Amino acid sequence: MSLRASERVLRISADNLERIWAHARSDDPWEACGIITTAGRHVPIKNAHTRPHVAYVFDVSDYITVMQEMSTSGEKLEVIYHSHSARDSRASGTDQTTVVWAEAFYLIVSTHDDTATAYVWNGRRLTECPLEVVPSISPG
């Protein structure tokens, strides 16, 4: 039984959220982008958009590589993230029209005002969902 969009909660480890923030800050003023897999693996992906300071598109080579790795390991795509450098973390009109993985969570972080907002696709548009930061589990 799958949850309705309104019932979904993005749970992300503190470590992965910090990795996303570090990626966003290092690429600023360009939009950073990447994914988190169901195994909790953070994968930055090069932003290949022709105007990377206002939008993002995954680099095809990076994207194919990570999809092949996930297929081999049995991982699935859980979160697609990107940053905004000149505005808050609300989904833009462009963000609303470029959803390609309806099952994934979408996370937008803003280096402009240090906000982070999670979204799910409800069949028509991205809608905000709760974001829960969970403690990171130390190995061994």
- Please say if the pLDDT value at position 51 is more than 60: yes
Which fold does the domain 5-132 belong to in CATH?
Cytidine Deaminase; domain 2 (3.40.140)
SS3 67: helix
What is the overall mean pLDDT for the chain?
93
- Please say if the pLDDT value at position 35 is more than 60: yes
Question: Are residues 79 and 36 in contact, defined by beta-carbon separation less than 8 angstroms?
Answer: yes
Show Cβ contacts of residue 102 under 8 Å, excluding neighbours closer than 6 positions. Answer: 121, 123
Amino acid at 75: E
